[in-house]
Structure 1
Amino acid sequence: MRVTDPEILRFIAETEAAYPAEANTATPAENRRHYDAMCAVFRRPRPEDIVVTDAVVAGVPIRRYRPRGAAGPFLLYLHGGGYVVGSLDSHDDVCAEIALATGAELVAVDYRLAPEHLYPAQLDDVETVWRNDSAHRPGIVLGDSAGGALSAALCRRMRRMGGPMPLAQCLIYPGLGGDMSAPSYAENAEAPLLRTADLVHYAGVLTGGDMMLRETDPELSPLRAANFAGLPPALVVTADVDPLRDDGPAYVDKLVAAGVAAEWRNEPQLVHGYLRARHRSIRAARSFEAICDWLQGQLRSTG
C-alpha cells in the first residue's frame, strides 16, 4: 500500500525526522527519547475550559481532564506506544481535545511499561483505575494502538471477573493479536511509522520473550478468545496503511456474530499514529471528529 496524500506524506516526514524507523527496535531508553521528542513536535496547547489535575490511584498515576459542566459517564483513555513508550504527557493534547469535544470527564492512565514491567502489569494498572472510577459512575473505555488493545482486554477481564463493564469500547488502530498471515501484515509490512517486524519486537518485549502468550491469552490477544458474547458496543477505527489494519474488521465480525453492536471504520491513506496529524491533515481531522461524535453519541444514549 502507498501513501499519496501530500498532507500525510508531510506528517510522515515530520514524524520520522524525530522518530526514525529504527527507534522502534532500539533500547527502551533510546526509544523513549526519540518518542518523547516526536510527541513534542506535534503537541498542541490544551484548549481552554478544561480543568486538568494529576493524581495517583493505588500507586497508578492518572490525569483528569474535566470540561466545564461535565456530568454523567466518564471516558477512560489508554495511550499507545507498544507498551514500551508513552505517558500522560505523550497524549495530553489528544485527551484534552477528546474531553472538550465530548463534554465528558476523561481519565488518562499512566500504566507501567515493559520491559521493566512485563504483561499483565499494564492491564492490572488499567483495571485498578477503572474499578476506582467506575465505582461511582459508568464509563466508556478507549485507546489507540496498544491502548486500544488494553481497552478490549479490560472488557474481557471485566466479563471474566464479573466486574463493572464499560458502557462501550472505542479502539483506534489497535493490535488485537490477530492472524499475522492476514493480508495487511504483508501488504503493509514496510508501512511508514510501524512495520510488521516492529510488532513482533514489541510483543517479545511485553512478554519477556514468551511468544506463546500471544497465542493462548485472550486478554493479551482479544482475537484469540472463543466467546465474544456479553461485551460492550464497539467502534473500531483502523488506518489503511498499517499492518494492524485487518485486526479491526476481524474483531468487529466476531462481536457482531455474538450479537454485539459493533462497527468498523477504515481510513484510506492514513498510517498508524495518525491521531497526531489531526491538525495537519483533513483526513485525520475528519477521523478524529468521527471518533468524538461516536463517543458523544454513546455518552448521550447511556448517560
Structure 2
Amino acid sequence: MTPEAFRRAFTHGLQALAGLPLGAARPRYDRLCQGFAPPLPEGMAVQDGSVAGVAVRRVRPAGALPGEVVYVHGGGWTLGSVASHQGIAASLAERLGREVVSVDYRLAPEASYVEALADCRAVIEALTPRAAVGDSAGGRLVMDAAGTGEWRGPLGLIYPPVGHPTPDTLGPDAPLLSRKDVLALWAMVEDDLPEGDPALPPGARLEVLAVEHDPLTAPLEDAVAAWRAAGAEVGYRRAPGLWHGALHAHAALPAMGEAWGDFCTALAHRLS
C-alpha cells in the first residue's frame, strides 16, 4: 500500500462517519481500523476479561516473557475500542514478546475524562505492568495516569496531545487530523484534566513515536526537548511522509513499519 492509498482509504472511512450517531459510528470506526491490521501472528491468544472492574482484552504471544504491558487506544476519547486497535496491540505484544493488556476505558460523552482516566489508572495500578503504552488520546491518558498515580514504569507515547493545545502551539493542518479537530476534542476534556506543569516529564523513561504530517507533532517535539532538559531519558522517532492514524497500517507502510519497529525495539530494551 502506498501512503497516498492509505490516506485516501482512511479519509473515506472517516468521512463516512460524519453525521452518524455515536452508536452507529463506533462499530464502523472499529471496522475501518481493523481493515488495515495484519492477521494475528501464529500462536497468539486473545481473551476478553476485566481488571479492577475495567473491561480489558489480553493479547498474549506464544512463549511470552513474564510481566504485562498495558496499552491504551486512541480515538479522540469518543471512538475506539480494544477491537479497533487490536492490530496495534497484537503487534506490540509480538515485538515485545510480552502479554499486552488493552484497556476498554469508558468513552465520552457518556463518561467524563475523569472516569476514562480512572479506568486506565485502575488497570495500571492493579497490574503494576512492565510498561504502559498509549496512542493519540490514549497516549494522553497514559501520561495522566502516570502523573496522578504511584506507578513509575517506562512509558510509550504515540502521537499524543501534550500540554494545552492552542492555535499558537499546534503545527500545520494535515489530512486525517486537522487543527480544528484537535481543538474541538480538547475543548471537550480540558476542564477535567488533572493539573500539572506541562514542562515536567510524565515519566523518567519514555519512548515517543510521531509522524511528519500531524498538528500534534510540533508541540510533541517541543515537549520532548523540555522533558530531556528536565532530566528524563526520552527516545524519539518520527515516521516521514505520514499522517496521524498511520500506525494502523504499519504492516503495509514501510516508513511507519520502520519507525514502529524502532519504537518497539527501544521499549523492549527498557524492559530488559
TM-score (norm 1): 0.82
TM-score (norm 2): 0.91
Query: 1 CA distance for matches of 2:54 and 2:212?
Result: 34
CA contact (8 A) 2:73 2:137 kept: yes
SS of residue paired to 2:264:
helix
Task: Name the counterpart of 1:97.
Answer: 91
Task: Name the counterpart of 2:251.
Answer: 279
Task: Name the counterpart of 2:140.
Answer: 149
Task: Name the counterpart of 2:198.
Answer: 225
SS of residue paired to 1:72:
strand
Task: Name the counterpart of 1:193.
Answer: 176
Query: 2 CA distance for matches of 1:246 and 1:148?
Result: 16
2:156 pairs with one of 170, 174, 177: 170
Answering whether residue 55 of structure 2 is matched by residue 61 of structure 1, we say yes
Q: Compared with structure 1, are the counterparts of its residues 124 and 213 closer, same or farther at alpha carbon in structure 2 (3 Å cutoff)? A: closer
Query: 2 CA distance for matches of 1:179 and 1:14?
Result: 28
Identity of aligned residues (%): 32
Q: Which moved more, 1:244-253 or 1:65-74?
A: 65-74
SS of residue paired to 1:246:
helix
Equivalent runs, 1:110-149 vs 2, <5 Å = 110-134=104-128, 138-149=129-140
Q: Compared with structure 1, are the counterparts of its residues 120 and 96 closer, same or farther at alpha carbon in structure 2 (3 Å cutoff)? A: same
C-alpha distance after superposition, 1:223-273 (max 9, x if no partner): x43644x82211121111001011221221222122111132122211000
Query: 2 CA distance for matches of 1:47 and 1:226?
Result: 39
SS of residue paired to 2:90:
helix
CA contact (8 A) 2:34 2:86 kept: no
Query: 1 CA distance for matches of 2:35 and 2:61?
Result: 25
CA contact (8 A) 1:73 1:140 kept: no
Number of residue pairs matched?
272
Q: Which moved more, 1:278-287 or 1:43-52?
A: 43-52
CA contact (8 A) 1:174 1:247 kept: no
Task: Name the counterpart of 1:221.
Answer: none
Query: 2 CA distance for matches of 1:22 and 1:76?
Result: 29
Answering whether residue 267 of structure 2 is matched by residue 298 of structure 1, we say no
Q: Counterpart of 2:94 in structure 1: which amino acid?
A: L
Tell me how large the CA RMSD over aligned residues is.
2.2
SS of residue paired to 1:237:
strand
Task: Name the counterpart of 1:81.
Answer: 75
Q: Compared with structure 1, are the counterparts of its residues 245 and 37 closer, same or farther at alpha carbon in structure 2 (3 Å cutoff)? A: same
Measure how far apart 1:183 and its partner are: 6.3
Task: Name the counterpart of 1:10.
Answer: 5
CA contact (8 A) 1:155 1:232 kept: no
Query: 1 CA distance for matches of 2:72 and 2:15?
Result: 24
CA contact (8 A) 2:70 2:132 kept: yes
SS of residue paired to 2:46:
strand
Task: Name the counterpart of 1:70.
Answer: 64
